[in-house]
Chains A and B, each alone.
Chain A
Amino acid sequence: MTRFGIPQFPGSCDETDTLLACSRVGEAELLWHKDKDLKGVDVVVVPGGFSYGDYLRVGAIPPFSPVMQAVKEFAAEGGLVLGICNGFQVLTEAGLLPGALLPNVNLAFTCRQVDLVVENVETPLTHEFAPTERISVPAKHTTGRYFAPTEMLNALEAEGQIILRYAEGHNFNGSVNDIAGVCNERRNVFGLMPHPEHAVDPLTGSDDGLKLFSSLASAAGVPA
């Protein structure tokens, strides 16, 4: 069974939600921020929230934590890493993902169910989806406007590193090219602003996000 590890920083908010979502498709445990020990997990999911209060700049502090030092090494060895919301911000700050997240165009925290289009289904995160499949997932953030300089953006588009886009009319934060999620060149590190861990049960609104976790679980190549 695939084992997921979820780094927990003081100020993390969605770590329990992520733990619950991952445990639907594998085993999952929290990883304490002060420990440089990933406990041998197969996949790391950096959760949403406000790590260390996010008072300096969103996601700026965690890259210096012991647990993220270990995550960087894990990613360098090809380990699968997903960052959700604050986790995405952390991964861009850590230099593991291209681009940056800027304040929403409305300059306010916004919580809204949005439709996303899966752009690239040839990645470990998305291989269980059909091409251009449309999914409903909630987003909730103040600083979610994806930005990359033109040259970098063109390269990301050309290399198929844009994995999720907001459907037409759903890009409330003003992200460039409607980008909701990206991956690195090696396709083992992923970041997305919407929250798939909050879309794993029809009872709470949608289960469209579950396939992202089961894709990761099967891609990790651990027999059930």
Chain B
Amino acid sequence: MTTAQAPHIALGLTDPEFELIVEKMGREPNATELAMFSLMWSEHCSYKHSKKILGQLPVEGPHLLMGPGENAGAVTVGDGLAIAFKVESHNHPSAVEPFQGAATGVGGILRDIFAVGARPIAVLDSLRFGELSSQRSRYLADQAVAGIGHYGNSIGVPTIGGEIYFESPYEQNCLVNAMALGLAPVDQLIKSAAAGVGNHLVLFGASTGRDGIGGASVLASAELGDDDGSKRPTVQVGDPFEESKLVECCLELLGKDLLASLQDLGAAGLTSASSEMASKGEVGLDIHVDRVPLREQGMEPFEIMVSESQERMLCVVTPELLDEVLSVCDKWDLHHAVIGEVTDTRHMKIYENGELVGDMPVPALVDDCPVYTLAPEEPTEQIYPAPSVDSEAARAARAAFDDNAQGILTALLASDNISSRRHYFERYDCIVGSRTTKRPEQAEAAVLHLWKQNESGAPIPGPSIAVSIDGSGRKVAADPYRGTIGNVLECAANIACVGGEPLGLTNCLNFGNPEKPHIAWQLTESVKGMRDACNALKLPVVGGNVSLYNQSADGPIYPTPVVGIVGGVPDPAVVATNTFAEEELFVGLIGPFEPTLAASELAKLIGDELPTRLPDLDLAKHAESLTLVRDAVRAGTIKVARDISEGGLATALAECSLGGVGATIDIAPLVERVSRAYPDAEPHQHARTALFGEGPGGIVVAGSREDLLALSNSAASMGFLALGTTGGQLLTISDPTGTLKEVSLPASEIQRIHGGALSERVSS
């Protein structure tokens, strides 16, 4: 016998939540009201499982203009200009329909940016899929990248950076996070609070259809399962052409100062957009669903209120400016309709042909969703199995493991998480807008110069910014607290390598089901790590996104807190590159770098178990070291800078040789440091850890001998180690202990291995 499911359960609400709604309403909600409550009280909209712990993140800083709570955060970058930015996930839609899921992820984050009045100027992405040996992962990666490119390229916003990793825990639940940046004069930033009783509520952009109904509640706030194919209709279809008109229309409306407030329609559509505006403005709204331009007939009021049709915006306009606003919409060939008015009732009232079909107190809808306290519990053992990788690179690494450092290095350079990402990033327009001064692989972070125009329209220099997005999942799985600190430090190191001063951070916390104690523990520890790292770097969190329930029957994803940092760069012409561009440069290593093979790429290649803890680190020292690197890059002392990340020092040195110039390196100083940290280990383990161990804080730098020797004096407490000299076409790395065979690789061979591995692998 089957029992019919209660409507609120089918919509994702619990029995106690439903009872609370009845209490707040003083009666049972009707179908329209229940649909709206189910969305506003979903995890996606209410942050009910994460709100309490997110409160500990620092949200203040000297450059901050807008913090969490608005559509996007914003920082000042000088010359009266602001950069608005935010990262958001579109994981579940992309797992179900990767092309449109990823495309609309970009469309959604771009709307968040121009909703605050900023012109979108850049996109970055952070992608995770299962191992490339899986056909499904190759398909998802290919289609998600195509979808991001389709939207970003078509709308004329460059995709300037990002990262893509392949790990088996993402096999069933891929991650597609997109970050966008927008540029605006500081005084043009606009908030979303509805204001002015009697003002008009105007919906403009695309028409409204039945696409994406229930996306926030049914798809985004639940685990993935067997019947996900049936959820495909909950994924929206993007139209970048419509959005490009919408961007220009919004910026023209704001430039002419015609709007009282502006809000984008994203997850939960009109319901979320209107009720958030009403809540922030402490007003009420009357909405007439029969006035909404529809793309299909016979839509029910609840369908109109919850539709997630893309490319739509909602604004509040005073009666005297209405005609002018509508004529701008006409100019850009956009649908528009006055769908309601601002009232003083503090109620959301929904009408259909003059008949009241929904009436809810705004606070009940927006603020009264219960907030849950997590019940974290540290698991007694590692919950993720040892990575099992079957690839040629892995077999080569295992075969070479005894003493053949060169064999290990070439295997790492060809491995799926280290080889060149060119196969993917060439599918993105990285230059439209004429701001990109460092493209992918040209520096550790993307650099944009924010040109201004002189009286005759020619470009003149403005401020510059650096931006990077980072988020290892495996290290956070090993140690949520220290792994998350590592993610923040790696992102900050990338910014420092191009001379950037970090101004603000945005995050996307991708985790499994928070109702499970071990996931709650990962989330709690990770947020603590982010808090401590941000405090040490004096870096405010300007906003972000939480994506929970990222798990399938196979288990949870690696916990993946992705962070994006925007930094200020005084002179885009004085930015360190990340390859040895010149001969006879002195090569050194700066930073409190304590390498470990635990959770490293090498450990993955040879199938080592994940540890349950990573080494402690001294956050104050890390922050000080990054400041030192940044200042030396700005002074031109450091000409080449590369953060040591996946694959350790040897990989970083090989990647520094990708420009065609090699180097002669002696790793004795780092071997000595490793032997002090691990006195009980065997000498060959010391050498291997120095070459391939990973950890935050290590930056390979190069510059003139005099400059770097002077720097090494001031950087002695920062652990400066002299490593060698650039020159010739060979990279040689010698280990004076003699326990590993010397590495001797021509730069051209490094280019060949690193450059071609990924495209060969995905086409095989």
Interface residues of A, Cβ cutoff 8 Å to B:
10-14, 16-17, 19-20, 23-24, 27-29, 49-50, 52-55, 108-112, 138, 140, 195, 197-198, 201, 203-205
Tell me if B433 counts as interface (CB < 8 A to partner A).
yes
User: What distance in Å separates the Cβ of B738 from its nearest Cβ neighbour in chain A?
Assistant: 43
Which B residues are in CB contact (< 8 Å) with A28?
457
B432 close to A203 (CB less than 8 A): no
**Once the chains bind, are B437 and A203 in contact (CB under 8 Å)?**
yes
User: Across the interface, which residues of B come within 8 angstroms of A205, CB to CB?
Assistant: 431, 437, 439
Least Cβ–Cβ distance between A15 and chain B, in angstroms: 9
Report 10 cross-chain contacts, Cβ distance below 8 Å, ordered by A residue.
A10-B241, A10-B245, A11-B241, A12-B156, A20-B459, A24-B459, A53-B239, A110-B426, A111-B427, A138-B431
B675 at the interface (CB under 8 A from A): no
Q: Does B754 contact A (CB under 8 A)?
A: no
By beta carbon, the residue of chain B nearest A53 is: B241
Given contacts A50-B241, A109-B429, A203-B437, 10 further A-B contacts (CB under 8 A): A11-B241, A53-B240, A109-B150, A109-B427, A111-B430, A111-B431, A203-B449, A204-B431, A204-B435, A205-B431
CB–CB A111/B426 < 8 A:
yes
Name which residue of chain B comes closest to A204, CB basis: B437
Measured CB to CB, the nearest residue on chain A to B423 is: A108
User: Which B residues are CB-close (under 8 A) to A54?
Assistant: 154, 241
Q: Does B332 contact A (CB under 8 A)?
A: yes
A203 contacts across to B, CB distance below 8 A? 437, 449, 572-573
B431 contacts which of A24, A49, A50, A198 (Cβ < 8 Å)? A198
| Contact assessment for A140 and B431 in the assembled complex, using a CB-CB cutoff below 8 Å | yes
Interface residues of B (CB under 8 A from A): 146, 149-150, 153-156, 239-242, 244-245, 248, 332-333, 426-437, 439, 449, 451, 453, 456-459, 572-573
Q: How far is the CB of A165 from chain B (nearest CB, A)?
A: 21
Checking A55, A109, A111, A112 against B241 with a beta-carbon cut-off of 8 angstroms, the contacting residue is: A55
**Residues of chain B within 8 A of A198, CB atoms compared:** 431-432, 434
**CB <8 Å contact, B436 and A204:** yes
In the bound complex, CA of A203 to CA of B436 (Å): 9
Find the residue from A10, A112, A201, A205 having the highest chain B CB count within 10 A: A10
Cα–Cα distance between A143 and B245 once the two chains are bound (Å): 23
Q: Please, how many angstroms separate the alpha-carbon atoms of A19 and B434 in the complex?
A: 11
Task: Report which of A11, A108, A112, A197 forms a contact with B244, defined as CB distance below 8 A.
Answer: A11
- Contacting pair B451 A20 (CB below 8 A): yes
Tell me if B's interface is mostly helix, strand, loop or mixed.
Answer: loop
Of the candidates A110, A140, A201, the one having the most CB atoms from chain B within 10 angstroms of its own CB is A140
In the complex, which of the residues B426, B434, B458 has the most CB atoms of chain A within 10 Å of its own CB atom?
Answer: B434
Given contacts A10-B332, A50-B241, A203-B572, contact A17 B457 (CB under 8 A): no
A11 touches which of B154, B430, B459 (Cβ 8 Å): B154
Closest chain B residue, CB of each to CB of A197: B434
Structural contact, B434 and A109, CB atoms closer than 8 A: no
Known: A13-B432, A53-B241, A204-B437. A20 touches B458 (CB 8 A): yes
Contact A24 B458, CB 8 Å, known A140-B431, A198-B434, A203-B572:
yes
User: How far, in angstroms, from A47 to B6 measured CA to CA in the complex?
Assistant: 56
The CA-CA distance from A21 to B460 in the complex, in Å, is: 12
What is the bound-complex CA distance between A135 and B423, given in angstroms? Answer: 24
Q: Does A20 lie within 8 Å of B434, measured CB to CB?
A: yes
Bound-complex Cα distance A27 to B454 (A): 12
| B435 CB contacts on chain A under 8 angstroms | 204
The residue on B at minimum CB distance from A10 is: B245
B328 CB, nearest partner CB in chain A, Å = 13
A10 to B241, CA, bound (A): 8
Which of B153, B244, B437, B459 is A10 in contact with, Cβ under 8 Å? B244
Please determine whether B153 and A109 come into contact, CB atoms closer than 8 angstroms: yes
Chain B residues, CB < 8 A from A16: 433-434
Whether A14 contacts B239 by the Cβ 8 Å rule is no
Q: How far is the CA of A49 from the CA of B154 in the complex (A)?
A: 7
Q: How far is the CB of A10 from chain B (nearest CB, A)?
A: 5
A residues near B458, Cβ cutoff 8 Å:
20, 23-24
- Residues in A whose Cβ lies below 8 Å from that of B426: 110-112
Instruction: Considering the complex, give the chain A residue whose CB is closest to the CB of B154.
Output: A50
- In the complex, how many angstroms separate the beta carbon of A190 from the nearest chain B beta carbon? 21
On whether A14 and B432 interact (CB within 8 A), knowing A28-B457, A53-B239, the answer reads: yes
Decide yes or no: A204 and B434 within 8 Å by CB, A11-B244, A52-B241, A109-B427 being known contacts. Answer: yes
Q: Which residues of A contact B453 (CB under 8 A)?
A: 20, 23
B457 touches A111 (CB 8 A): no
A57→B333 CA distance, assembly (Å): 20
Please determine whether A110 and B432 come into contact, CB atoms closer than 8 angstroms: no
Determine the residue in chain B with the shortest Cβ distance to A112. Answer: B426
**Would you call B427 and A108 a contact (CB within 8 A)?**
yes
Known A-B contacts A11-B154, A108-B146, A111-B427; the reply to A17 vs B245 at CB < 8 A is no
Q: Could you tell me if A27 and B457 are in contact, using CB atoms closer than 8 angstroms?
A: yes
Q: How far is the CA of A4 from the CA of B632 in the complex (A)?
A: 43
Give, as a whole number of angstroms, the nearest-CB distance from B517 to chain A.
45
Known A-B contacts A111-B426, A204-B431, A204-B436; the reply to A13 vs B241 at CB < 8 A is no
B429 surroundings in chain A (CB, below 8 A): 13, 109, 111, 140
| Set B244, B427, B451, B456: member contacting A110, Cβ < 8 A | B427
The docked-state distance in angstroms from the alpha carbon of A198 to that of B244 is: 20
Is the pair A109, B457 in contact by a Cβ cutoff of 8 Å? no
Chain A residues in 8 Å Cβ range of B457? 19-20, 23, 27-29
CB nearest neighbor in A for B146: A108
Residues of A within 8 A of B240 (CB): 50, 53
The distance in angstroms between the C-alpha atoms of A192 and B117, with both chains bound, is: 35
Question: B156: which A residues are within 8 A, CB to CB?
Answer: 12-14, 49
Alpha-carbon distance A28/B453, docked complex (angstroms): 12
Cα A154 to Cα B458 with chains together (Å): 41
Give chain B nearest CB distance to A151 CB in angstroms.
Answer: 35
Task: Please indicate which of the listed interface residues B332, B435, B458 has the most CB atoms of chain A within 10 Å of its own CB.
Answer: B458
**Which A residues are CB-close (under 8 A) to B244?**
10-11, 13, 50
Taken together as a complex, chains A and B put the C-alpha atoms of A197 and B451 apart, in Å, by 15
Q: Given the complex of chains A and B, what is the CA–CA distance between A201 and B439 in angstroms?
A: 14
Choose one: A27, A140, A197, A204; the contact of B456 (CB below 8 Å). A27
B241 to chain A, nearest CB (A): 3
A142 to B, closest residue via Cβ? B153
Q: Give which listed residue, A12, A17, A50, A108, contacts B434 with CB less than 8 A.
A: A17
Instruction: Report the separation of the CA atoms of residues A126 and B439 in the bound assembly, to the nearest whole angstrom.
Output: 28
Nearest to A195 among chain B residues (CB) is: B431
By beta carbon, the residue of chain A nearest B428 is A111
Cα separation A50 to B152 with both chains bound (whole Å): 11
| Chain B, Cβ-Cβ closest to A22 | B457
Instruction: Give Cα A52 to B333, complex, Å.
Output: 11
Residues of A within 8 A of B572 (CB): 203
A13 vs B247: C-alpha distance when bound (angstroms) = 12
Measured between C-beta atoms, what is the minimum distance from A8 to chain B in Å? 9
Instruction: Give the nearest-CB partner of A1 in chain B.
Output: B456
A101 and B431 CA atoms in complex are apart in Å by: 22
What is the CB-to-nearest-CB distance from A166 to chain B, in angstroms, rounded to a whole number?
16
**Nearest A residue to B334 by beta-carbon distance?**
A10
A28 to B449, CA, bound (A): 22
The residue on A at minimum CB distance from B575 is: A203
Chain A residue numbers with a CB within 8 Å of B436 are 204
**Whole-angstrom distance between the alpha carbons of A54 and B449 in the complex?**
30
